[in-house]
């Protein structure tokens, strides 16, 4: 940049009309006509310890260069100028001589030996081509030689078009990176770094916002090719820090990132009612937190690395709850279902239903003499004797009487009536008929054979008469 500045200043010293503060002086022109319209004119320009012999060939008026012609420096301090050196200076175009014998290029080109060129029109410099091929076009500051507005095209075909600070640094405009097809449009800091604006990438990705001093994203919006976008703050390395990511399907995440990955926040599904709030795995899957369904049902617990619920508490809109293991969105495994009135159903669950073997065990234990059995017939609070017991035939909400009860013969999907029911005697794979069935008296591994036969008889009586008789 220093070389550019000195080049412009040196050219101005020779070819621009000098101000009163300049110490450079032209001698009288010595012009000799050698054709009908062309003259050969010579002069000596001095400034401090610099002495230049200059020549002009072209049109003249009143014994001085005036009109179309060519101007060149032939000697500096008595030494002939090498045409290939930087000091070799030539000008071609329309010129005019001022009263102090200084010469002004009205319209034309000034060329240096190393390839640098200056272009003027109506006495105004509008274009500079530097020796490395960089091109400056626009409005120049006559005091500094730098562009104030215009376009710079670099040798790799990158360009900047806009306005400039007095230092010549980019101020506001568009910078285009030719090889990568990336562009930035916006404002710059005085040191030339990005301040605020829009980066556009070849796949139509865009960043709109502010920048750190090292040029990385600071705060703004990053738009992806599928129209997904992130709005928020960025880390110094350019990764997401804190903000909202909008997915193309309408989902969005608002929260905190680490190394560009979400770690804690809220994930909203496109229906705006279903959402998850909590922690995330490194792969972006739900880890631990609260999942709220569109109908108001809520799950609080843990997830696997595929965002599938594993163990926690389901809060249903009816007021009931389930605490325990979950699979396929249903109670599966060890767990407890708590009704709105506080009544509990604990045991092993399968696809949202209590495992029927637990019911069979309760029926079996009813006749047990084991004092530690929960369902011992002498226990007034067991599931059979308690007025609220799930196996009490007199309880209208029990598994026998409830319209959806798994022991209700009137329920076509119950374990008693369903063709696949585990307690249906006609099902060859039921607990009655299966070789390993807990109610099969022919199962030699069942140490409660005698009592199981009684239970079977009791169940048949119930199915027939609607109640169990002791």
DSSP code per residue over 309-338:
EEEEEEE-TTS-EEEEEEETTEEEEEEEEE
Q: What are 257's strand-pairing partners?
A: 262
DSSP letter for each residue of 396-421? TTSTTTSTT-TT-TT-TTSTTTSTT-
Report yes or no: 233 and 243 within 8 Å, Cβ to Cβ.
Answer: yes
Q: Say what the pTM is.
A: 0.61
Cα distances (Å, whole numbers) of residue 40 to 37, 250, 368: 11, 79, 133
Element (H, E) at 353: strand 353-354
C-alpha distances (whole Å) from 257 to each of 36, 65, 250, 254, 440 are 82, 72, 20, 10, 58
To the nearest 10 degrees (0 to 180), the angle between helices 356-366 and 449-465 is 100
Query: In this predicted structure, what is the pLDDT of residue 373?
Result: 56
Distance CA 416, CA 422 (A): 7
Strands 286-292 and 30-33: unpaired
What's the half-sphere exposure (Cβ side, CA atoms, 13 Å) at 440? Answer: 18
Domain boundaries, the chain: 1-133, 142-202, 373-470
Structure tokens at 251: 């989902």
pLDDT at 444: 60
SS3 129: strand
Which residue ranges in the chain fall short of pLDDT 70? 1-23, 83-84, 86, 272, 356-378, 381-382, 436, 443-470
The 8-class DSSP code of residue 82 comes to P
Backbone angles phi, psi at 272, to 5 degrees: 70, -5
Q: What is residue 423's predicted lDDT score, i.e. its pLDDT?
A: 81
Structure tokens at 191: 């040191």
- Could you tell me if 218 and 233 are in contact, meaning their C-beta atoms sit under 8 angstroms apart? yes
Q: Which position has the token pair 């091929």?
A: 133
Please state whether beta strands 286-292 and 275-280 pair in parallel, antiparallel, or not at all (unpaired).
Answer: antiparallel
């Amino acid at each position: 940049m220093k070389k550019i500045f000195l080049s412009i200043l040196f050219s101005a010293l020779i070819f621009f009309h000098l101000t009163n503060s300049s110490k450079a002086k032209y001698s009288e022109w010595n012009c000799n006509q050698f054709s009908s319209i062309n003259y050969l004119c010579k002069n000596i320009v001095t400034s401090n310890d610099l002495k230049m012999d200059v020549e002009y060939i072209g049109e003249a008026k009143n014994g001085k260069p005036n009109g179309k012609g060519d101007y060149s420096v032939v000697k500096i301090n008595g030494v002939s100028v090498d045409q290939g050196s930087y000091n070799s200076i030539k000008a071609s175009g329309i010129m005019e001589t001022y009263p102090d014998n200084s010469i002004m290029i009205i319209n034309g080109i000034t060329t240096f030996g190393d390839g640098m060129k200056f272009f003027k029109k109506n006495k105004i410099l509008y274009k500079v081509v530097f020796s490395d091929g960089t091109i400056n076009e626009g409005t120049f500051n006559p005091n500094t030689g730098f562009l104030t507005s215009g376009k710079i095209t670099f040798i790799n075909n990158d360009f900047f078009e806009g306005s400039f600070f007095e230092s010549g640094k980019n101020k506001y405009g568009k910078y285009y990176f030719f090889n990568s097809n990336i562009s930035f449009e916006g404002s710059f800091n005085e040191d030339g770094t990005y301040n605020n604006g829009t980066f556009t990438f070849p796949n139509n990705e865009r960043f709109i916002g502010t920048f750190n001093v090292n040029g990385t994203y600071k705060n703004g919006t990053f738009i992806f090719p599928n129209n997904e976008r992130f709005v928020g703050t960025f880390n110094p390395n350019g990764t997401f820090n804190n903000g909202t990511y909008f997915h193309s399907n309408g989902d969005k995440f608002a929260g905190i990132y680490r190394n560009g990955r979400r770690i804690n926040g809220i994930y909203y599904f496109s229906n705006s009612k279903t959402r998850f709030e909590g922690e995330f795995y490194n792969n972006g899957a739900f880890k631990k937190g609260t999942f709220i369904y569109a109908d108001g049902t809520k799950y609080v617990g843990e997830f696997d690395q595929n965002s599938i619920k594993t163990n926690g508490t389901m809060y249903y809109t009816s007021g009931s709850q389930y605490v325990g293991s979950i699979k396929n969105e249903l109670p599966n495994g060890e767990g407890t279902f708590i009704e709105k009135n506080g009544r509990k159903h604990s045991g092993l669950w399968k696809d949202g239903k209590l495992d029927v073997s637990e019911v069979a065990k309760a029926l079996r234990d009813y006749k047990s003499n084991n004092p530690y059995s929960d369902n011992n017939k002498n226990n007034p609070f067991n599931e059979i004797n308690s007025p609220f017991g799930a196996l009490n035939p007199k309880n209208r909400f029990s598994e026998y009487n409830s319209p959806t009860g798994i022991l209700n013969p009137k329920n076509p999907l119950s374990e008693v009536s369903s063709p696949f029911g585990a307690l249906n005697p006609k099902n060859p794979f039921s607990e009655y008929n299966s070789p390993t069935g807990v109610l099969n008296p022919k199962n030699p591994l069942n140490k409660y054979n005698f009592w199981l036969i009684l239970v079977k008889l009791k169940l048949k009586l119930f199915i027939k008469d609607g109640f169990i008789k002791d």
